[in-house]
């Protein structure tokens, strides 16, 4: 079968994968990046604080990804400073995002982040394909020119570097699915005594799991209603976990339903990607009996947060420019503050919070009248 080249969708990859995908398309041609998605895995390993994680170690992730993409690592080095860096067409770097000025994590959060470094006159050009929305702003693919002083500031503690060249082009995309039992994984997050740490960790976990499943579906050409529904459920779960994490961090109750939903999503992986079972998501929104004054109050908050609001008769928020899970949380907190209510933990589900009437129903359930 002849594979039709497909442009790289940066939204499918995590911050370690994405720039290996960039290199693969450069070296082997457009569409090569999808070879990375043929593996679908749920294989947790022990993480910090006794919490399991599906996030692989960088070295093992780079090695496996390079093999899948037809890349070959010719050198790996831990450098102590930017002076030891050797920019070039295959210079792949992993460093602390806290120090990288082009990502929203700059001075906000420590995490490992990849990028490519090319020579550019007296400085370097950084190429980073990462695409994500964060609570501190948006990360988008781009190129940035740094002089020597700026590069030194970006790598104060050094970095892990790889020299990567083309290997044999990937021959095909035979799927490899490895799904471990999820019971202990879910139970650990549900029962961990540090609820803030557990929900913050689970936010990253569901984000990684959601992206990997979208990548696998794209790589395998799984374009069925069942798969779309399953991926939508993963998206909704990731948003709900983020909302739960924000609430727990603020000292509020958490919706315990997220753990049953997580178990269901992991169980459904076994069938959804084989096309043997359908998945449906019913709306939890009750659009009947919402007083106009409540709807107007909710719409006013939406306009304040997003700069624009829903048009008359509109219900879903997803099409409003600027809306995201982070803005969703701002809308919830602003509604609670302005209307003097507190949403029930079990109402913190995207099916309600991404829908005008769902927000109105949550206000009414919390005792709001305007």
pLDDT score recorded for residue 283: 42
One domain, residues 27 and 162: yes
- CATH assignment at residue 325: 1.10.1200.10
pLDDT tens by residue, 120-136: 999 999 999 999 999 89
Give domain status of residue 257, yes or no.
Answer: no
The sign one gets for the Cα dihedral 357, 358, 359, 360 is positive
pLDDT single digits (tens) 108-166: 999 999 999 999 999 999 999 999 999 899 999 999 999 999 999 999 999 999 999 99
Bridge partners of 95, per DSSP, are 113
- Tell me whether residue 213 is in a domain: no
Integer Cα distance of 26 and 89 in angstroms: 10
Helix ranges (DSSP H) in the chain: 17-28, 58-69, 148-154, 183-191, 195-220, 225-249, 257-272, 292-306, 325-339, 350-353, 356-365
Question: Is residue 256 in some structural domain?
Answer: no
The answer as to whether 180 is a domain residue is: no
Q: Does a structural domain hold residue 249?
A: no
Please report whether residue 316 resides in a domain: yes
Within-domain flag for 54? yes
Are 52 and 262 in contact, with CB atoms under 8 Å apart? no
**pLDDT tens digits for 207-240?**
999 999 999 999 999 999 999 999 999 999 999 9
The pTM is what?
0.78
Are residues 158 and 296 located together in one domain of the fold? no
Number of domains in the chain: 2
- By residue range, what is the domain housing residue 301? 292-366
> Which burial class, exposed, middle or buried, applies to 176 when counting CB atoms under 10 A from its CB (0-12, 13-18, 19+)?
exposed
Which of 112, 135, 166 is the last residue before a domain boundary?
A: 166
pLDDT of residue 7: 83
CATH (domain of 52): 3.90.70
């Amino acid at each position: 079968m002849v594979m039709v080249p497909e442009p790289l969708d940066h939204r499918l990859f995590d911050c370690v994968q994405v720039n290996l995908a960039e290199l693969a398309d450069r070296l082997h041609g457009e569409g090569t990046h999808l070879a990375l998605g043929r593996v679908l895995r749920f294989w947790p390993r022990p993480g910090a604080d006794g919490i399991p994680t599906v996030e692989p170690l960088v070295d093992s992730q780079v090695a496996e990804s390079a093999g899948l993409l037809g890349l070959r690592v010719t050198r790996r080095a831990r450098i102590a400073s930017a002076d030891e860096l050797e920019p070039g067409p295959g210079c792949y770097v992993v460093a602390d995002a806290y120090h990288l000025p082009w990502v929203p994590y700059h001075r906000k959060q420590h995490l490992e982040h990849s990028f490519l470094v090319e020579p550019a006159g007296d400085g370097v050009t950084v190429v980073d394909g990462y695409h994500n929305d964060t609570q501190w702003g948006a990360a988008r693919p781009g190129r940035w020119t740094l002089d020597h002083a700026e590069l030194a500031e970006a790598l104060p503690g050094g970095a892990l570097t790889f020299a990567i060249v083309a290997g044999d082009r990937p021959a095909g995309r035979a799927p490899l699915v490895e799904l471990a039992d999820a019971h202990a994984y879910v139970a650990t997050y549900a029962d961990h005594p540090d609820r803030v740490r557990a929900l913050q960790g689970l936010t990253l976990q569901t984000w990684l799991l959601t992206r990997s499943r979208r990548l696998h579906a794209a790589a395998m050409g799984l374009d069925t209603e069942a798969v779309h529904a399953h991926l939508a459920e993963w998206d909704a779960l990731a948003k709900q976990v983020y909302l739960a994490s924000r609430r727990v961090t603020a000292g509020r109750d958490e919706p315990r339903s997220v753990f049953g939903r997580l178990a269901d999503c992991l169980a459904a992986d076994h069938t959804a990607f084989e096309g043997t079972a359908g998945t449906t998501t019913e709306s939890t929104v009750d659009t009947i009996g919402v007083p106009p004054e409540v709807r107007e109050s909710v719409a006013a908050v939406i306009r304040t947060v997003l700069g624009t609001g829903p048009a008359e008769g509109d219900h879903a928020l997803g099409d409003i420019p600027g809306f995201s899970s982070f803005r969703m949380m701002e809308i919830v907190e602003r509604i609670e503050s302005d209307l003097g209510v507190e949403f029930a933990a079990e109402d913190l589900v995207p099916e309600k919070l991404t829908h005008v009437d769902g927000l109105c129903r949550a206000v009414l359930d919390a005792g709001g009248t305007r």
